[in-house]
Amino acid sequence: MAAGEIIFLVQPSPEGGYEARALGHAIFTEADTLEELKARVRDAVRCHFDEDERPAIIRLHRVEEEILAA
């Protein structure tokens, strides 16, 4: 039976591009663009889970920090 969903925390990488880390699972990937990251996240989930255990939904939670002058 497949799990409902898996959540990835997505943030800008200090080296440029983006990185994604799964919450509750040892899955990490990175890419130069968000579109490339989405493809890599899908591939990582396919590799990490057997087909009958694979989550039906992958949720990307993007976190970006912005600094404003007071």
Enumerate the domain spans of the chain: 5-57
**pLDDT for res 46:** 97
Task: Return the exposure string of 23-47: e unless at least 16 CB atoms fall within 10 Å of the residue's CB, then b.
Answer: eeeebebbbeeeeebbeebeebbee
pTM of the model: 0.86
Instruction: Name beta bridge partners: 30.
Output: 19
Write out pLDDT tens, residues 32-69.
999 999 999 999 999 999 999 999 999 999 988 888 99
**pLDDT for res 26:** 97
